[in-house]
Amino acid sequence: MSFTTSFSPLVSSHPNHLQHLLPPATRSEYRQFLKDPVWFQRQPGHPDSLLSAINPHEHAHMRKLLSPAFTPRALRAQKPVLQKYMNLLVDRLREQVQHGDGVAGIDMGPWFNCTTFDVFGDLGFGESFDCLRHCQYHPWIALLFSNVKAASFVAAARYYPLVESLLMKCIPRSLQQKSERHYQQITTATVLTGILSFLVNEPGKMAQLVNEVRHAFSSSKDVTLQAVANLVHLNAVIQEGLRLCPPVPWMLPRLVPEEGSSVCGTWLPQESPVSLQAYSLNRDPSNFHEATTLLPERWLPDASTNADPPFFHDNRRAIQPFSIDPRSCLGQHLACAEMRLILAKLLLAFDFKAIDGKRLQWEDLRTFLLVEKRPLEVRVRLAG
């Protein structure tokens, strides 16, 4: 981050690769850049997926077929499924707390993962992974977490074809085929982990959100998709969480087209790999007031219209947590719905506090395609 904010919005991160903080005014050009096959290349013997498809026409065809299942209307039809697993999450955590005589130290990361994967299994395959039911990961899910870090090494190996060929022979075909389907669930749980880690470290911000949730709802059954969508402060916290804790801290590389293009004022020849540094962009002081601080109020309705607040000049358009059209994430409505419901139900039912010596510092986490997983152990007690 320090290179792009201190020296230039366009830097060379390694040979023949540039990372940038692309100004919003030039993003229309970036949308036309095709994906870099080094990172998106399909595996030999496998068809293209929505994630790996590079050809824009093939990608558009796939997206057209899948998009009806991811609309807000389709999401509303799945309300019972979402409620089922959100309520089960609360029940499981309540069991943990009661077993600990009213208070327990709980690593929340795995619980977020279990919930989002159970929802995905039910919606995507018609059958839950039963992670919440058994209080442990399904074997496929456990394998996937190991595979995320390995995937970055596989992509790096593509710079050396012989190494790639040898490496791919060591990875089971079934794992190669299935792993990319589940990455969205990791990213949703990652943002939830990041949001909670910031909130427990900022008791004042936590109190504001808890106050809103508990004034809005008297019981868990009142926490519905429509109701949580109207909670102004909750949605502001989620937006701020997406800004500070992007689960994919960089937008995977794309290639400059044949005619070349200007990026951040620098002319680049065809097939130059470039990627957007979302983490740096989101924390750039030129884009946001107190850019590294959790300040959900920057997303409140009057922050962008009233010239008095310090956030009036924040560059909100810089935030693209779900990528840029036409490659934006199809599951963004589901992801936001899950985050709203999970946070609202948890804060209604429990009090969360940081444990000294076990605070998670988001800035210390490493990135292997996605943000690495580290424990987020917090003190949980039943809401009083």
> Which positions make up the binding site for heme?
329
Beta bridge partners of 367: 371
Q: Residue 281 corresponds to which amino acid?
A: L
Scanning the structure block, which residue is given the tokens 């994967």? 117
User: Is the C-alpha dihedral spanning 199, 135, 368, 187 positive or negative?
Assistant: negative
**Residues 93-100: contacts with CB under 8 Å, at least 24 apart:** 93/346, 93/349, 93/350, 93/380, 94/349, 94/382, 96/380, 97/350, 97/380, 97/381, 97/382, 98/382
Whether the bond between 249 and the residue before it is cis, its omega within 30 degrees of 0, is no
Q: Binding site: residue ranges?
A: 329
Find the farthest-apart pair of alpha carbons in the chain and give their distance in angstroms, rounded: 67
Burial, 11: exposed, middle or buried (Cβ in 10 Å; 0-12, 13-18, 19+)? Answer: middle
Spatial contact of 277 and 21, defined as CB atoms under 8 Å apart: yes
